[in-house]
């Protein structure tokens, strides 16, 4: 590892240099000219694949962030419950294959590599492998749709770290596909699965007015939330992160209404809620918590709850444990009928949407011609100055952004 760690806590933002993209050199938020990317880099979170991986994996995730051991043990228990295996790596193998198939179908002759932030195959090794095969212009795709330190910038820092630790920073360029929270391919599977859930509950005789839809996403520290998105834009107290979730959830509910799946007479109430909080109790994180809200619903005369994992791409541990175990238990205790809807996974609409995003970037489609379903999009190709910065982590070099 080069000098990265010693640079990490300087006051001066080292930010993107020397990992600037062509677009960032001009300061433009969107790609200005088509780029002949020679490989796609699918960047996942990573997860353990056996009991012996659990603790080393958790140490990787929390490296340098002061998560107490108590909390690690608590989380380890969730993984141990499932044999120490997170399904997230298998999901990413399937997603990689599905994207490759769709690229082939469209005649786009570009290989797709997969690497993780926190477990093997590590991004470092993947970047080395791609470079050894002669690829020098990689288009990164992080498995995370929204803007925040954990869901965007940290992936960019990991790209930068991978380039520096492999000594490839001057020969390999990694750009990153824009955050895709409001891209049709990401939203469509949610519209479909929430629609199915509402239909099911209606068939069971539960009036729409007695159903609540909870759109659940990963909580983050309110400090991170406030700093999510470009430094010079105001998205309200929850920053771009909360605003993006609110906008997507609202779009889904409007779509269900316009598609006739919800009648005007008795609309289900809906809201965005947060899950999987960690960190010290003294540190404020985004609220309300999904389980807290579920236990309050009977007092609001709800009979049923639809839990929508809006913040997640696949049914990994945060979904399997925090929703399918804990939130479902909370619903049972509250006497509520509950349905947890599907994540996008390898839904054909999602896979097509991802390849649309790849094509859009390769062709440098003008922003006004890009598909987006909320007023917040289309999000930027090149992260803006100070985007999603994290003052706790300090400034670290990050690829695929503009100079501050």
Contacting positions for ligand HT9 (CB under 6 A): 45, 47, 58, 61-62, 65, 67, 71, 75, 86, 88, 143-144, 148, 150-151, 218, 220, 278-279, 311, 316-318
Query: What CA–CA distance (Å, rounded) separates 112 from 99?
Result: 8
Q: Find out whether 339 and 332 touch, Cβ atoms under 8 Å.
A: no
By beta-carbon proximity to ligand HT9, the closer residue of 246 and 318 is 318
Which lies closer to ligand HT9 via its Cβ, residue 63 or residue 369?
63
Q: Which residue is nearest to ligand HT9 (CB)?
A: 278
Report, in Å, the least distance between residue 224 CB and ligand HT9.
6
Residue (158 or 175) nearer to ligand HT9, CB: 158
Q: How far is the CB of 156 from ligand HT9 (least distance, A)?
A: 12
Residue in 228, 225, 216, 200 with CA at minimum distance from that of residue 270: 216
Q: How far is the CB of 229 from ligand HT9 (least distance, A)?
A: 14
Q: Which residue number, 143 or 341, has a Cβ lying nearer to ligand HT9?
A: 143
Q: What is the DSSP letter of 318?
A: I
Closer to ligand HT9 by Cβ: residue 211 or 327 = 327
Q: Is 165 annotated as a binding residue?
A: no
Q: Count Cβ atoms within 10 A of the Cβ of residue 357 and give its class: 0-12 exposed, 13-18 middle, 19 or more buried.
A: buried
| Cα dihedral 19→22→25→29 (10° resolution) | -100
DSSP category for residue 178? P
Q: Does the annotation list 333 as a binding residue?
A: no
CB of 336 to ligand HT9, least distance (A): 26
Inter-CA distances, 102 with 108, 118, 378, Å: 9, 27, 23
Min dist CB 395 to ligand HT9, Å, is: 16
What 130-135 contacts at long range (C-beta under 8 Å, 24+ apart), as own/partner pairs, is 130/39, 130/41, 130/172, 131/166, 131/168, 131/171, 131/172, 133/39, 134/38, 135/38, 135/39, 135/111, 135/172
Measured between alpha carbons, how far is residue 306 from residues 40, 58, 268, 289, 328 in Å? 35, 30, 10, 15, 10
**Smaller CB distance to ligand HT9: residue 30 or 289?**
289
Query: In angstroms, what is the minimal distance from the CB of 148 to ligand HT9?
Result: 5
The beta strands (E) that lie in 260-331 are given as 269-275, 304-308
Note whether 401 and 387 are within 8 A (CB): yes
Alpha-carbon distance of 24 to 384, in angstroms, equals 9
Residue closer to ligand HT9 by CB (options 84, 386) is 84
Q: How far is the CB of 149 from ligand HT9 (least distance, A)?
A: 7
The span from the CA of 24 to the CA of 253, in Å, is 36
Contact 65, 150 (CB under 8 A): no
Q: What three-state secondary structure class fits 403?
A: coil
Question: Annotation-wise, does 318 bind a ligand?
Answer: yes
Closer to ligand HT9 by CB, 211 or 317: give it.
317
Smallest separation (angstroms) from ligand HT9 to the CB of 381: 19
Q: What are the E-state strand segments in 219-296? A: 269-275
Q: Of 78 and 255, which CB lies nearer to ligand HT9 in the complex structure?
A: 78
CA angle 39, 57, 129 (to 5 degrees): 25
Q: How far is the CB of 223 from ligand HT9 (least distance, A)?
A: 10
Tell whether residue 218 is among the known ligand binding residues.
yes
Binding region for Fe(2+): 218, 318
Binding region: 86, 155, 218, 318
């Amino acid at each position: 590892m080069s000098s990265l760690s010693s640079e990490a806590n300087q006051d001066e933002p080292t930010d993107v240099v020397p990992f600037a993209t062509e677009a960032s050199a001009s300061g433009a938020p969107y790609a200005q000219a088509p780029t002949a990317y020679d490989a796609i880099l699918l960047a996942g979170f990573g997860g353990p694949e056996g009991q012996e991986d659990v603790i080393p994996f958790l140490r990787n995730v929390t490296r340098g962030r002061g998560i107490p051991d108590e909390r690690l043990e608590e989380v380890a228990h969730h993984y141990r419950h499932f044999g120490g295996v997170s399904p997230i790596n298998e999901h990413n193998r399937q997603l990689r294959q599905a994207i490759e198939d769709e690229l082939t179908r469209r005649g786009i002759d570009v290989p797709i590599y997969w690497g993780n932030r926190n477990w093997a195959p590590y991004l470092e090794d993947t970047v080395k492998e791609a470079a050894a095969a002669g690829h020098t212009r990689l288009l990164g795709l992080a498995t995370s749709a929204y803007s925040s330190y954990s869901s965007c910038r940290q992936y960019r820092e990991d790209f930068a770290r991978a380039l520096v630790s492999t000594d490839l920073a001057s020969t390999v360029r990694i750009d990153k596909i824009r955050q895709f929270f409001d891209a049709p391919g990401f939203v469509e599977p949610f519209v479909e699965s929430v629609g199915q859930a509402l239909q099911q509950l209606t068939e069971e005789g539960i009036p729409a007015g007695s159903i609540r839809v909870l759109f659940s996403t990963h909580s983050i520290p309110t400090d991170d939330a406030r700093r999510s998105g470009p430094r010079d834009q105001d998205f309200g107290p929850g920053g771009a992160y909360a605003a993006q979730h609110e906008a997507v959830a609202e779009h889904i509910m409007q779509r269900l209404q316009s598609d006739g799946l919800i009648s005007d007479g008795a609309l289900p109430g809906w809201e965005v809620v947060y899950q999987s909080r960690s960190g010290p109790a003294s540190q404020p994180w985004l609220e309300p918590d999904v389980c807290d809200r579920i236990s309050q619903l009977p007092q609001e005369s709800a009979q049923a709850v639809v839990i929508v994992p809006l913040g997640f791409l696949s049914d990994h541990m945060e979904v399997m444990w925090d929703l399918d175990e804990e939130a479902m238990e909370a619903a049972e205790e509250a006497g509520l009928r509950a349905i947890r809807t599907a994540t996008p996974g390898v839904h054909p609409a999602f896979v097509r949407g991802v390849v649309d995003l790849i094509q859009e970037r390769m062709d440098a489609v003008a922003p006004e011609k890009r598909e987006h379903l909320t007023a917040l999009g289309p999000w930027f190709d090149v992260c803006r100055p100070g985007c999603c910065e994290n003052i706790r982590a300090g400034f670290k070099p990050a690829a695929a952004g503009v100079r501050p």
